Structure 1
Amino acid sequence: MNAYFDIRNGHIAIIETDTPEPGWVKLKSTQSRLAARYRLDDDGKVVDAYPGKTDEEVLAAIAEQQAAQAQSTAPSSPRVLTKLQFLNRFTNEELAAVYTAAKTNVLIEVFMDKLKLAQEVNLDDPQTVGGLQSLAAAGLLSEARVQEVLA
């Protein structure tokens, strides 16, 4: 039985058979049977992407690359606080100003009512960010303070 590279779909698979099909390239006896170590070059030829490395080293390198990629693409965990933790990010003076403004500004009152009803506060939630920006727009917080509260 012989081993062949199947390169028909733009990917490399290694097939063992005595009846090769068109588009298969026979492996040399010195070539590894680890398909993951090979790639197709610009001319469509099979090349070893890890020359000089053992199959074990290739597998370790691939695992390392996959772990790094998974870490870079993994969504960051949401930054969630209890309501008390969130409110403790404000000074008492800021909170007094917000509660006073909520008596005459319906949008601020709505934000505070939603805060009261929330189970938790997600600092990355657009409603949280928008609520804090409305406090800044009303002159109750500076933009720098909004960023500090969200940090």
Structure 2
Amino acid sequence: MTDQSSPQVSEETQSNWAREQFQRANLHLAENGILFDSVVTEECRYLAPLVAVWKIKTTDGKYFWVISGDVPADFTHHENAKDARELLNYFALRWQMKAANLRASAVNDLTQIEYAAYLENRSEGLFRIKDKEELWA
């Protein structure tokens, strides 16, 4: 993720990217034992090719937020954020804490240290997107 605005992409490219990210989000949920039923489309947001936020209803009637894009695929219970913008803040903080924990425990593990740097970078990108008022008007 960069400081710059999202690159201009065609409508078809955006649509394909969103579909791929939706599939990635559902795969991530399935890998964690959560089965998708439907999407609360009016609460989902995406900024291709940076980040996509999905609100998912599961087959057992629970709701989850899922994030994908140029970020780690991740999810949380819907109670942890009232909307997509708040969710970006939630994951940014969560990833910063995870990065700090990785750095503290992986003193000589270069892979873990690199992943911590990746999480920090992505969390900073989420903060920047969250703070851009023009994206949320």
Structure number having the greater helix percentage: 2
Query: Highest Rg: 1 or 2?
Result: 1
Is the pair's TM-score, using the shorter chain for normalization, greater than 0.5?
A: no
Structure 2 length as normaliser, TM-score? 0.30
| Higher RCO, Cα 8 Å, sep 6+ | 2
